[in-house]
């Protein structure tokens, strides 16, 4: 006697090709490119962000700047300060304040771990990027240690040397 075929699963439908790549999670909404120049990024964490409706729409439109932003642990809660999310163009009088302090959402154990590292070793929390994941806005926080001026120069020298080496290899392959 032949067995009846079990439950058939349908393949996942492709994402809507007309959907914005930022909203679909294919592209970052904001990236803090200066962070790797000013800090040694040691460890990265993912956190959710508590936002209002107009803030989410502004993030989706790409009106976000993380350049001067930083994270802070206060009273067992995690906060994002100085993150600029521009006002929503089609908003009304209930539009959000661009530089308001926003709450970050993480598990208590992760927050406790961050408290220990930021207070004992003098590290700071720097947001490196903001992106969408399954329709929710997420922030990637990095535990960071500040660079001295000579550290920045050394990083630049190393980057230049690597670039020249890659170009030399490419030239030798072409010849």
pLDDT, residue 54, reads: 84
* Contact indicator for 21, 131 with CB cutoff of 8 Å: no
Instruction: Please check whether residue 127 is in contact with residue 83, taking contact to mean a CB–CB distance below 8 angstroms.
Output: yes
Q: CA-to-CA distance for 136 and 131, rounded, in angstroms?
A: 8
pLDDT tens over the chain, length 175 residues: 566 666 667 776 666 666 666 666 667 778 888 888 788 888 888 999 998 888 888 888 888 888 888 888 888 888 989 988 888 888 777 787 788 888 999 998 888 888 888 887 778 889 998 988 888 889 999 988 887 887 788 888 988 999 999 999 999 988 7
- Domain extent listing, the chain: 21-147
Q: Which CATH number fits domain 21-147: 3.40.50.300, 3.40.50.1370, 2.40.280.10, 3.40.50.1860?
A: 2.40.280.10
């Amino acid at each position: 006697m032949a067995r009846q075929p079990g439950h058939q699963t349908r393949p996942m439908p492709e994402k809507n090709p007309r959907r914005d790549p930022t909203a679909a999670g294919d592209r970052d909404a904001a990236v803090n490119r200066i962070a790797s120049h000013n800090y040694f990024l040691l460890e990265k964490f993912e956190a959710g962000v508590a936002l209002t409706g107009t803030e989410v729409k502004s993030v989706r439109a790409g009106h976000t700047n993380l350049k001067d932003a930083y994270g802070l642990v206060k009273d067992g809660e995690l906060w994002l300060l100085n993150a600029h999310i521009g006002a929503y163009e089609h908003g009304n009088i209930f539009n959000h304040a661009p530089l308001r302090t926003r709450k970050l959402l993480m598990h208590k154990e992760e927050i406790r771990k961050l408290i220990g590292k930021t207070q004992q070793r003098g590290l700071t929390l720097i947001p490196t990027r903001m992106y969408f994941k399954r329709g929710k806005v997420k922030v990637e926080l990095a535990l960071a240690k500040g660079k001295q001026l000579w550290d920045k120069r050394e990083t630049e020298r190393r980057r230049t040397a690597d670039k020249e080496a890659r170009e030399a290899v490419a030239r030798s392959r072409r010849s």
